[in-house]
Copies of this chain bind each other. A is one copy, B any other.
Amino acid sequence: MDSPVYLSVMKKMVYTPGPSQLYFTAEEHLKQALRDNIPAISHRSRAFQSLFQEATESIRNLLEIPEDFSIYFTGSATEIWDRLIENCVTHESCHLVNGAFSKRFGEQARALGRETHVWEVPVGTAHPIEQMLMPESCELIALTHNETSTGVSMQMEDFSKIRAAFPDQLIAIDAVSSLPYPQFDWSTLDSTYFSVQKGFGLPAGLGVWVANERCHEKAQERRDAGYSIGSYHNLFSLREKAQKNQTPETPNVLGIYLLTKVAQDMLGKGMDMIRRETNYKAAFLYGCFERWNGFQPFVSEPEHRSKTVIVVETVQPSAEWVQKLSDKGFVVGQGYGSLKDHQLRIANFPTHSKESVELLADTIEALL
């Protein structure tokens, strides 16, 4: 290999919160895909239609997605922010902001010419939902289940409360760095979305957009009123092709294949088990960081601490910890943006086994 800089993550266990360590079965699936020449199948062939059907069925089963939600593929979750606005918002969207990614969705909406109502709370804190105010004119409420930049997580009851208080608005939940972990009550939301390089442990380059009939109705209403809802990735182009088990453009076929296989592996293991393990590993890590001198969980309210992205404050510069852990074979992330220098972010995804999380903790403890 002539590019030594790549060596930085070779033979190490990667705990950055996305891209992260590949799911432990992904490499074998990739090799099987090569043996089966998956990258060469035409996206207009029966082979692809069969794969598309298998993919959407597996995702639907895994996440228990009701039938009135459709499943679409995009290039990234960032793209889905655009598509949600283009399809579902004519004038105004509402954004609950508590970190860099929830903020960026609002910025994209404004770049697309929409007025945004932003309710921002200090980073590291959750929104006190009981105090939520919003103009009735808002068409879509953008929520972030798990703010990847800060490790703040919303609770399922937050979604129920918002749904009850604002029944006329569309509710879109960013679950980029939490799915497949959360078990949503699908009646509390109209759309959710994720990208595959986080909880699913797959190579980046594929977003998954789940949207119900109300989203489609809103898009229809907008189109009927003469507004542009975008082109190849508007909800109707996506639906028309999805009904034939196809995509409008040539998609990331290999990514869809790998997602299918990993979703099936997770189904085989069982989401109950994956959720229990996630809970155990999160509780274990937070417990360690609360006990150890020199660390402290960033999110002070335990019920809002993310189960999938563990964020801790460090007394020592975080870069030193990143380096020390890298030397021991563990790649962890620094804090995001302005929080970089005194925070660590540690992914707790399904691919991170109990044993390796315990080993990571032992390694940190030995370095204290």
Q: Which residues of A contact B (CB under 8 A)?
A: 1, 3, 5-12, 14, 16, 18-22, 26-27, 30-32, 34-43, 45-47, 50-51, 54, 74-79, 81-82, 107-108, 111-113, 195, 197, 202-206, 228-232, 234, 248-255, 331, 333
Contact = CB atoms under 8 A, between A and B. Distances in A.
A23 to B, nearest CB: 10
A195 B250 contact: yes
A40 B9 contact: yes
A260 to B, nearest CB: 9
A195 to B, nearest CB: 6
B22 A205 contact: no
User: Which of A6, A40, A249 neighbours the largest number of chain B CB atoms within 10 Å of its CB?
Assistant: A40
Nearest to A252: B205
The 10 A-B residue pairs with the shortest CB-CB distance, nearest first, are: A75-B75, A205-B252, A78-B249, A39-B203, A111-B231, A108-B231, A14-B40, A203-B254, A76-B249, A5-B50
The oligomer's copy count stands at: 2
Contact of A37 (B12, B32, B54): B12
Given A34-B30, A255-B205, A231 B82 contact: yes
User: Which of A26, A204, A234 neighbours the largest number of chain B CB atoms within 10 Å of its CB?
Assistant: A204
Given A39-B204, A77-B249, 17 more contacts: A5-B47, A6-B50, A6-B51, A8-B41, A9-B36, A19-B250, A22-B40, A39-B197, A78-B250, A82-B231, A107-B231, A108-B232, A112-B228, A204-B251, A204-B252, A205-B253, A205-B254
9 contacts: A6-B41, A7-B36, A14-B37, A19-B41, A76-B250, A78-B248, A112-B231, A205-B206, A205-B252
Contacts of A16: 40, 42
Given A50-B3, A107-B231, A231-B112, A203 B252 contact: yes
Contacts of A112: 228, 230-231
Nearest to A40: B14
A19 B6 contact: no
Contacts of A75: 74-76, 79, 205, 249, 252
Contact of A79 (B9, B249, B253): B249
Given A228-B113, A230-B112, A1 B36 contact: yes
Contacts of A14: 37, 40
Contacts of A205: 75, 205-206, 250-255
B6 A36 contact: yes
